[in-house]
Amino acid sequence: MFKIFIIISILFLNSFASDIKTIEYKGDIDLVLGDFSKSNLDTICGFSYPEIYKIWKKNPTFTSKDIENCSELLKEYSQSLGFYRAKIDYEIKNDIATINIFKNEAIKVSSIKVEDEYKKFVNFKKDEVFISSKFSESKKNIRKYLNENGYAKADINAKAYVNLDEYKVELIYIITKTNFNISVI
């Protein structure tokens, strides 16, 4: 009997928990398209809404924990695009959550150290905004080139040194070619 009372009490108290029905993004956001558009930010946070023509489906509701998680995801996302000093916070009033995004200045590449043979695979230039996906892509391009030229066992030691004090990134690519020899016994 006591267990039933506890379960009913929890369900009753949960009915008073305020569900968040609307999420607004304010600050440095893109209107329609771009990395910081509402639809892209919703995708980053894992929020999905029914298509407009599906009028029989209800819009989702969210909890304060959902909004807190979204805020953390947006911080990580901002950093991946080079905005390491982004300020992201939120406030919840009634059934509306407002997420404030201020990108601030993007971190830039201060130097690139790579052998001439591989420069064409590095997608960065000095003073360009550092985007982590472009750095990963450059490593993949170098690996592909080495594989195609008989260096499948080559060692690629590529590092992006992010200095938040001086607010700059140094890219260093050290490639050690190793021939893959097959000997006949």
CATH number of the domain at 166, please.
Answer: 3.10.20.310
Residues 97 and 12 in one domain: yes
**71 lies in the same domain as 128:** no
Q: Pull the structure tokens for residue 127.
A: 């003073």
Structural domain count, the chain = 2
| Residue 160 shares a structural domain with residue 83 | no
Q: What is the pLDDT of residue 18?
A: 66
Q: Is residue 156 over pLDDT 90? A: yes
Residues in contact with 132: Cβ distance below 8 Å, sequence separation at least 6, in sequence order: 79, 80, 160
Q: If you average pLDDT over residues 105-121, what whole number do you get?
A: 95
Confidence of residue 16 (pLDDT cuts 50, 70, 90): very low
Amino acid in the structure at residue 143: R
Residue 48 and residue 18 share a domain: yes
Indicate whether 34 pLDDT > 70.
Answer: yes
Give the C-alpha distances (Å, rounded to integers) separating 64 from 43, 95, 112, 135, 175. 18, 10, 43, 35, 47
Q: Which pLDDT does position 155 carry in this prediction?
A: 92
Same domain, 94 and 113: no
pLDDT value for 21: 87
CA distance 45 to 74: 7
The answer to whether residue 185 sits within a structural domain is no
What count of Cα atoms within 13 Å lies in the side-chain half-sphere of residue 28?
14
Residues 86 and 171 in one domain: no
Confidence (pLDDT) at 185: 56
CA distance 138 to 129: 15
Signed CA dihedral, 173, 176, 177, 178: sign only? negative
Q: Which two tokens stand for residue 78?
A: 């901002």
The mean pLDDT value of the chain amounts to 87
User: Between 5 and 158, where is the model more confident?
Assistant: 158
Range of the domain at 72: 2-102
Structure tokens at 156: 């690629």
Q: Which of 118, 131, 40, 20 is nearest to 81 (CA)?
A: 131
Instruction: Specify whether the CB–CB gap between 143 and 116 falls below 8 A.
Output: no
Least confident of 14-18, 70-74, 152-156: 14-18
